Amino acid sequence: MTLVEKILAEHSDNKGVSPGEFINVRVDLVMSNDITAPIAIREFKRLGVDRVFDPGKVVMVPDHFVPNKDIASAEQAKLMREFAHEQGIIYFELGEMGIEHVLLPEQGLVLPGEVVIGADSHTCTYGALGAFATGMGSTDIAMAMATGDIWMKVPHTIRLVYHGNLGEWVGGKDLILHTIGDIGVDGALYSAIEFTGEAIEALSMDGRFTMANMAIEAGAKAGIFGVDNKTQLYVKSRAERSYLVYEPDNGAEYSNVIEYDVSDIEPQVALPHSPANARPVSQVGNIEINQAVIGSCTNGRIEDMRIAAQILKGRKIHPGVRCIIIPGSQQVYLDALAEGMLGVFIRAGAVVSTPTCGPCLGGHMGVLADGERCVSTTNRNFVGRMGSTKAEVYLANPAVAAASAVMGKIASPEEIL
């Protein structure tokens, strides 16, 4: 069996599972946020169930519209907060929260070998820890909160192998954008992606989170990495419960195996209006921007902040650009503060926000007007994603986003260093 099949077999009490098979699966964690939790709560109450199956395995995080931007978002957060307190589930209030997919691994709530579901498509982020993690609709989440089970079809697994050494300023964001540019936004439809190869082994945990996060942008059900020493070091300092590590069998069958040589890959930029519209930064041309966003569940971790600070230190944001920097959690914010990065950002002319999804979904803290262009470290650039349907979003890594903020146009870090 593949890595995903082994985890699903264990959680469905089967000796083995096969792609296409329908199974009932026990979950280790159920997550929702301030957009999706209110729907799940209403459906949960319609079931006539008084209590969630296990309050220690249900997590709610307000992160999309916080601090609340209007009365409607305040009401949604209030409903979630009251339900969380009533049920005694795990809840992160403003001031201790973060963007859910940065926060949960950081807090040791997701561990290797587990099955995690979330009412958010980027729940697949946790696959970086060797967990099977996937997004589901709020109705499915309501049922899981009540029963601790989900019903699903076992996905096929695609194995992606990355050979070679990464070049300067090239990281997980560039690998996943290059991959999506190759296979398309439906190239892994309802499949699990298993990331492997020596380039993956050399990648930091933050880089792996970025790649797993955007597996959904290739249409995948999940993205997963094997557990190695880097994973163990990350997890052991956070885990408060035991966990199991699974490995794929040598004879595991994959629906497809795709190999890449990363040695010649340069920083990537996905042009409007698809993550698959990716090309090397050197081939983008002269594209002026109005805004740069550095943050999100894709690139809001401490490594991303350090890269941005390295570019921005001693420089000024272009006068025609608004630069918004959003640490992914309160811990990332504190670490950036302790390392002097917040001062670097502010002296450069950027604004630094409390953790929030904010501009990524066109929610608040950076919504675009007609005709504006933004280079962003977020994960989607569909029409209207960050505001106006007449705006344009370009996806890039933190180094490119920071360099572009200084240059006033999409630029490689090499152009200013």
* pLDDT tens digits, 205-215: 999 999 999 99
* pLDDT tens digits, 320-338: 999 999 999 999 999 999 9
Residues of the chain under the 70 pLDDT cut: none
Alpha-carbon span 246 to 384, nearest angstrom: 40
Pick the CATH number of 267-415 from 3.40.720.10, 3.20.20.70, 3.40.50.300, 3.30.499.10: 3.30.499.10
* Cα 114 to the center of its chain, rounded Å: 18
Query: What's residue 12's pLDDT?
Result: 98
Query: What's residue 265's pLDDT?
Result: 97
Query: What's residue 399's pLDDT?
Result: 98
- Say which residue the tokens 């995948």 belong to: 220
- Say which residue the tokens 């190239």 belong to: 187
Portions of the chain given CATH number 3.30.499.10: 3-260, 267-415
CA angle 352, 118, 45 (to 5 degrees): 115
Q: Is 210 left (phi over 0), alpha (psi -120 to 50) or beta?
A: alpha
* pLDDT tens digits, 158-198: 999 999 999 999 999 999 999 999 999 999 999 999 999 99
Query: What's residue 14's pLDDT?
Result: 95
Q: Are 162 and 260 in contact (CB under 8 A)?
A: yes
Query: What's residue 410's pLDDT?
Result: 98
Reading the block at residue 203, the tokens are: 């990648």
| Rounded percentage of the chain residues whose pLDDT exceeds 70 | 100
Query: What's residue 276's pLDDT?
Result: 98
Query: What's residue 296's pLDDT?
Result: 98
Q: Which residues are 129's β-sheet partners? A: none
Query: What's residue 76's pLDDT?
Result: 96
Topology, domain 3-260: Aconitase; domain 3 (3.30.499)
Query: What's residue 93's pLDDT?
Result: 94
